[in-house]
């Protein structure tokens, strides 16, 4: 979710005070695609413009403060002994990165209060000055990583002004923020000798306060994760910037397992006496010397950290917030200590600070909650009251959050009312195996007439990858189908609005235009349901009825992307509202049948009929269908195969384009995809799916048949996108890193080990893990996001894959759909940083991904959901079969190998179609 945009007309800043900060205004409007903004091949990034002038010098000259810098100083503080505060209030500037909320999560715990997050072009300079200098709302500033270069105004936004003008506020710049600190003082930003993304390096440092209690040097455990293609040229570093950390330009380390993520022994460091003059220590914790030859260091090593000689400004090139960085939290704790020490010396009283602490905390919550539900007018009014500490509330904080959520999200229900649902269910213990299993049950109950049927199919349950399967068809009086198509505007100004067609159980249909888009509509629908939790006590699963279907990739325009370049042929979202449901518990072999109805009605007929059919099953339907399948297999010779959307040569050329974007710092990782298509005539689509699930079983497989749309989806996905259970636990399980199975047991084991210890595949996976931590961090309680399993290798019928698990505790003030919007599309299908990467991919790929790269699953009426990533999937639509495939491109990628990996991923689904066509 994005933070609330504050407009000058809505929040008046004292003109006499703020106008003096208006000497510099270099902010430019942001174009829809901001890539390679004055990057010159073969030269320094931002080193020169078309006239040959030095851009760094020019910008720095424009921004350098005058000798009257004191006019911007806060009110003079008295030097009096004070106690440190219990909290630190941080303004976190987001440079449109996909790791910012990892920093947010860390700082929320370390600071004792969540930071306020704004994007780098979200507040004007007047607004920033108002909150920093008039309201004294923040104690320090953190500038996030991000794509691009600090030499490009569109990439860095207001951050250069902050670094130059706010000389009396502690600032920490991370990655792009670090480069900005160097650039604004005249250092050159250049291409690194090698782009480093998602890889670990050992770092040495000089023992300054930012690295207190952190070891230094080789083999002492200070390993950091790097995501950067650009660096500060150490030879150009001005005298006011002091190097504080560095690493070898080519030395990287493989990730060897969770033991590297454990807490290392804390090394004692000498206390630094001054936060301005941060002297080099004679010894660090491990006893290594700190007397360096900076001339040799600059020529042979890459700067990993700098600080200003007289200001409390620091920068680190690496990512302290990464899950694989050692001592990352300690660095952020040290920055808090630097902040505390600074204000301890220069603030005369903490009374002012404490009076605004609650305001800051509520400000953070209100900005995020209000912006996520598009209630700008209400939010601005609340923001005014909160910032000015007008907090005469009759409710507790928790009660107030729920009240605000109710008022802003559910205003439309004031006239329409709520829908009260009742649940009835029956359990049949150990029945599934007796009647032939899930396949037999589906074929008997729903396979004779497959129109408008669904099957969320855990066809691979080994190693407890999945446990439950859900199936159903056109049901009772609450059943309906929702079909959504985005409106298409060639000027790229579409904000996600589109046309929703609704068909009820009687066949009546209507089409309405949704200005705010499909996800907003779905959110309101789910929030309208009322139910009794006691009715599903005893059910071991979370789907009790509700919406089953898919969200297409192009709905990214409802999740932060400005526009879609391509339009999908298939609907952008399609769902059934399932009021009747059959559930199979593969662990205990139990079968459940469920029905939901409105409070005023009572229906048991479907439960009675389904129970009778279940108890009469003997598995014969499955056997007959198996014979039918073998008949189809004999008809597959001499059939035309799939035609790729792009040739091998073009795909390899596209990989090279991605590598150039990565080299220029526009992305860390790009998940490039393409489509393969084949005309089809008559085809037994259910037989195709059953064949696919037999040959390539998967834990998040699915069958969906939307007959009115001539659309059938046969999915064998091994990847979970996102799940929210009834305990409000969010879970993502991204896959990055794939290799084929071996012909023999020995070869297969060798291939598995090759994947497990591949630095390239580890880097791919780590980047997406950090991205998913960020996405969950936007909607989870501070400190709750964690990674219980990192880089596990899982084996499937045709491939080995590298899988990680990320979990967090959903905040009480966000809805289920808010969680999906924060993370959609899945990071494993986009790359990082996500927004910039999707813009780049839209410019390279030649057609819409459609359903591929989206998600399939359910949204239960009780606000739980479980969604997969649509991969390894056959889409049958209007006499055409299509299969999407691709792979993550990183700096270590080989174009030919990437093409072969893409083809490998299409093998199982394409062979299944060829057998049945």
How many H-runs (helices) and E-runs (strands) does the chain carry?
A: 24, 35
In sign, the C-alpha dihedral spanning 888, 259, 316, 192 is negative
Q: Give strand ranges (E) for 725-773.
A: 729-733, 735-740
CA distance 815 to 819: 7
Cis before 833 (ω within 30) = yes
Q: How far is CA 724 from the centre of its chain?
A: 15
Two tokens at 673? Answer: 């995809």
Please state whether beta strands 453-457 and 546-551 pair in parallel, antiparallel, or not at all (unpaired).
Answer: unpaired
- Closest by CA to 864, choosing from 745, 769, 724, is 724
Tokens 């559910």 belong to which residue? Answer: 410
- By the 8 A CB rule, do 762 and 198 touch? yes
Q: Check if the beta carbon of residue 548 is closer than 8 Å to that of residue 456.
A: yes
Residue 259 exposed, middle or buried by CB count within 10 Å (0-12, 13-18, 19+): exposed
Do residues 148 and 839 lie in contact, with contact meaning Cβ atoms separated by under 8 Å? no
- From the list 321, 404, 669, 845, the catalytic residue is 321
DSSP string of 656-718, one letter each residue = HHHHHHHHTTS-SEEEEEEEEEEE--S--HHHHHHHHHHHS--TEEEEEEEGGGTEEEEEEE-
Which residues contact residue 312 at a Cβ distance below 8 angstroms, ignoring those fewer than 6 apart? 169, 170, 171, 275, 276, 338, 339, 342
Catalytic residue among 18, 152, 166, 175: 175
Does 420 participate in catalysis according to the annotation?
A: no
Q: Report strand pairing: 171-174 vs 140-143.
A: parallel
CA–CA separation, 912 vs 889, rounded Å?
A: 28
* Structure-token pair, residue 291: 């007397």
- 734: nearest Cα among 857, 665, 823, 863: 823
Cβ burial of 12 (10 Å; 0-12, 13-18, 19+) is exposed
319 is an active site residue: yes
321 as an active site residue: the answer is yes
Q: Which of 185, 205, 228, 319 is catalytic?
A: 319
| Active-site residue list | 175, 319, 321
């Amino acid at each position: 979710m994005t933070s609330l945009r504050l407009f000058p007309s809505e929040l008046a800043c004292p003109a006499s005070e703020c106008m003096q900060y208006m000497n510099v205004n270099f902010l430019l409007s942001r174009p829809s695609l901001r890539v390679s903004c004055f990057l010159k091949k073969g030269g320094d990034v931002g080193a020169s413009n078309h006239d040959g002038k030095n851009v760094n010098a020019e910008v720095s000259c424009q921004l350098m403060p005058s000798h009257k810098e004191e006019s911007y100083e806060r009110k003079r503080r008295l030097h009096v002994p004070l106690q440190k505060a219990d909290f630190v209030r941080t303004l976190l500037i987001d440079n449109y990165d996909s790791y910012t909320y990892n920093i947010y999560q860390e700082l929320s715990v370390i600071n004792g209060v969540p930071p306020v997050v704004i994007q780098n072009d979200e507040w004007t300079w007047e607004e920033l000055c108002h909150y920093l200098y008039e309201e004294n709302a923040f104690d320090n500033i953190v500038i996030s990583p991000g794509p691009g270069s600090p030499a490009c105004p569109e990439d860095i936004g207001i951050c250069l002004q902050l670094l130059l003008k706010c000389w009396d506020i502690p600032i920490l710049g991370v990655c792009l923020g670090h480069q900005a600190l160097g650039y604004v003082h005249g250092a050159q930003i250049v291409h690194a000798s090698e782009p480093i993304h998602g890889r670990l390096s050992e770092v040495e440092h000089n023992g300054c306060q930012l690295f207190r209690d952190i070891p230094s040097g080789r083999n002492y455990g200070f390993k950091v994760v790097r995501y950067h293609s650009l660096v500060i040229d150490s030879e150009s570093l001005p005298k006011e910037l002091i190097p504080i950390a560095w690493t070898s330009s080519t030395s990287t380390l493989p990730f060897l397992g969770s033991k590297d993520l454990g807490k290392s022994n804390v090394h004692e460091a000498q206390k630094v006496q001054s936060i301005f003059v941060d002297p080099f220590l004679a010894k660090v914790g491990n006893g290594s010397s700190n007397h360096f030859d900076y001339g040799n260091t600059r020529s042979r090593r890459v700067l990993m950290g700098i600080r200003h000689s007289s200001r409390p400004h620091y920068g680190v090139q690496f990512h302290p917030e990464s899950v694989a960085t050692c001592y990352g939290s300690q660095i952020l704790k040290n920055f808090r200590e630097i902040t505390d020490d600074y204000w301890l010396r220069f603030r005369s009283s903490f009374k002012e600070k404490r009076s605004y602490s609650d305001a800051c905390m509520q400000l953070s919550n209100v900005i995020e909650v209000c912006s996520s539900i598009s209630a700008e007018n209400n939010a601005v009014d609340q923001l005014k009251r909160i910032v000015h500490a007008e907090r005469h509330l009759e409710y507790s904080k928790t009660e107030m959050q729920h009240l605000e959520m109710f008022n802003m999200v559910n205003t439309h229900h004031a006239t329409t009312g709520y829908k009260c649902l009742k649940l009835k269910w029956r359990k049949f213990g150990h029945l599934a195996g007796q009647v032939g299993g899930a396949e037999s049950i589906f074929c008997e109950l729903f396979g004779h007439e497959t129109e408008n049927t669904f099957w969320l199919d855990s066809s691979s349950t080994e190693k407890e990858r999945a446990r439950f399967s859900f199936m159903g068809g056109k049901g009772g009086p609450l059943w309906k189908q929702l079909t959504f198509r985005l409106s298409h505007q060639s000027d790229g100004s579409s904000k996600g609005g589109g046309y929703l067609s609704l068909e009820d159980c009687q066949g009546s249909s209507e089409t309405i235009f949704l200005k705010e888009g499909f996800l907003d509509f779905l959110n309101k629908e789910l929030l309208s349901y009322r139910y009794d939790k006691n009715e599903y006590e005893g059910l071991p699963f979370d789907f009790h009825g509700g919406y089953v279907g898919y969200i297409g990739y192009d709905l990214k325009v409802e999740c932060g992307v400005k526009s879609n370049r391509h339009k999908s042929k298939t609907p952008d979202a399609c769902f059934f509202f399932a009021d009747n449901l059959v559930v199979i518990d593969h662990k205990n072999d139990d079968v459940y049948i469920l029905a939901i109805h409105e409070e005023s009605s009572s229906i048991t007929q479907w439960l009675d009929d389904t129970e009778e059919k279940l108890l009469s099953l003997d598995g014969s339907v499955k056997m007959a269908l198996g014979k039918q399948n073998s008949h189809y297999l004999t008809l597959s010779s001499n059939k035309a195969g799939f035609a790729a959307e792009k040739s091998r040569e073009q795909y390899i050329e596209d990989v090279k384009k991605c590598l150039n974007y990565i080299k220029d710092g526009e992305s860390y990782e790009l998940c490039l995809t393409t489509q393969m298509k084949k005309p089809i005539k008559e085809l037994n689509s259910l037989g195709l799916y059953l064949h696919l699930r037999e040959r390539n079983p998967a834990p998040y497989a699915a069958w969906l048949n939307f007959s009115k749309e001539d659309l059938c989806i046969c999915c064998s996905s091994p990847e979970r996108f996102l799940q929210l259970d009834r305990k409000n636990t969010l879970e993502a399980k991204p896959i990055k890193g794939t290799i084929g199975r071996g012909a023999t047991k020995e070869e297969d084991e060798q291939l598995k080990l090759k994947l497990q210890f591949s630095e390239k595949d580890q880097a791919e996976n780590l980047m997406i893990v950090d991205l998913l931590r960020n996405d969950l961090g936007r909607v989870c309680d501070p400190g709750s996001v964690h990674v219980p399993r990192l880089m596990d290798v899982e084996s499937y019928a045709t491939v080995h894959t590298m899988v990680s698990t990320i979990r967090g505790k959903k905040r009480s003030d966000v809805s289920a759909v808010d969680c999906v919007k924060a993370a959609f599309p899945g990071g494993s299908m986009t790359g990082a940083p996500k927004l910039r990467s999707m813009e780049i991919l839209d410019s390279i790929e030649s057609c819409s991904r459609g359903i591929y790269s989206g998600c399939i699953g359910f949204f239960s009426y009780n606000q739980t959901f479980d969604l997969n990533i649509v991969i390894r999937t056959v889409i049958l639509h209007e006499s055409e079969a299509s299969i999407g495939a691709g792979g993550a491109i990183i700096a270590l990628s080989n174009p030919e190998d990437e093409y072969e990996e893409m083809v490998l991923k299409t093998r199982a689904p394409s062979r299944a179609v060829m057998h049945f066509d």
